Amino acid sequence: MHYSLRFEWLGMVFDISTIIAIVVTALIVLFFCIGMTRNLTSGVPGGRQNVMEWIVDFVTGITKSYIEPKKAAGFVSLALTLFLYIFIGNQLGLLFNVNTAIHNDPVEKQYVSDTVKDMLTLSTTEEAKKEKLAKLEEEINDPHGHGASIGWWKSPTATPSVTFALALVVLLYAHYLGMKKSFGGWLKHTFLNPIHILEEFIIKPLTLPLRLFGNIFAGEVLIAFLLSVGIFGSIPLFLWLGYSVFVGSVQAFIFTTLAMVYISQQVNDQH
């Protein structure tokens, strides 16, 4: 596996490659949305507007199939942003890799600095850090190896932090809507039945992000493996890349659909 640069700030750990992926995906989605909605006409729409209207219709369809029609319009923006962000994020890691290798060079007297080593081996416990550092030292000091490889580019959704963040935004928003609608109703629905406590606080927050993360992460692991195989991996790699595009689209659809289902459970009048 590749190393990634991490740093600690305000007691929280930030992963630089993840943040790059997050920001780039968000910018692509933003520019896509803005670019597609310039020079709009209420007459016969042109090519770009047609595409955007098709996407909006598609997402509105998802929203309306779960949320009561008169409330559905308010959630189309959320569904559209979720869908485009996850869809584009899922495909980004398939496009290319950006890796840099670092190693100690005794001849040129260039050594990997301690700061970088520290960032690459940031861990929760001292033991884990020591273990990682030992492995890293071994890789960067191996005169015949390629050094330690730092990954700069991946799908944001191949990172659990990202999928958990998206899921938490959706679930907290859903609970907020439930509380706003009727606090008593929300309490009764959430806490009266032990199955519901389990569902709301364990099952949903775990399954929603882990399904997305698992699919995309597994896809990228297999791509990395097939790349390392060499020439014999090229045909399976090609097939797997195609399949990954499909998986990425389906997962974006599933995540958006489930988000709308969870919101509908809180806002619809009858369950």
Q: What is the DSSP string of 113-178?
A: -HHHHHHHT--SSHHHHHHHHHHHHHHHH-SSS--EEEE----GGGSHHHHHHHHHHHHHHHHHHH
Amino acid present at 121: T
43 binds other proteins (CB under 8 A): yes
Candidates 51-59, 104-112, 186-194, 239-247; binding stretch for other proteins (CB under 8 A): 51-59
Per-residue string for binding with other proteins, 106-125, x by CB under 8 A?
A: -----------------xxx
Q: Alpha carbon 225 to chain centroid distance? A: 21
| Min separation Cβ 120 and other proteins, Å | 13
| Calpha distance 185→57 (Å, rounded) | 32
Is there a contact between 119 and 163 (Cβ–Cβ < 8 Å)?
no
Long-range contacts of 50-59 (CB under 8 A, 24+ apart): 55/80, 55/83, 55/84, 56/80, 59/83, 59/256
14 binds other proteins (CB under 8 A): yes
| Min separation Cβ 138 and other proteins, Å | 16
| Min separation Cβ 52 and other proteins, Å | 6
| Min separation Cβ 264 and other proteins, Å | 19
Residue 150, strand partner residues: 3, 100
| Min separation Cβ 49 and other proteins, Å | 8
- Binders of other proteins among residues 206 to 235 (CB under 8 A) are 217
- Give the DSSP letter of residue 67: S
22 binds other proteins (CB under 8 A): yes
Q: Which is nearer to other proteins, 11 or 106 (CB)?
A: 11
| Calpha distance 233→10 (Å, rounded) | 44
| Calpha distance 45→34 (Å, rounded) | 16
Binding test (CB under 8 A) with other proteins, winner from 98, 101, 128, 235: 128
Candidates 12-20, 92-100, 193-201, 230-238; binding stretch for other proteins (CB under 8 A): 12-20
Tell me which residues touch other proteins (CB under 8 A).
1, 6, 8-10, 12-15, 18-19, 22-23, 26, 29-30, 33-34, 36-37, 40-43, 49, 52-53, 56, 73, 76-78, 80-81, 84-85, 123-125, 128, 156, 159-162, 164-166, 168-169, 217
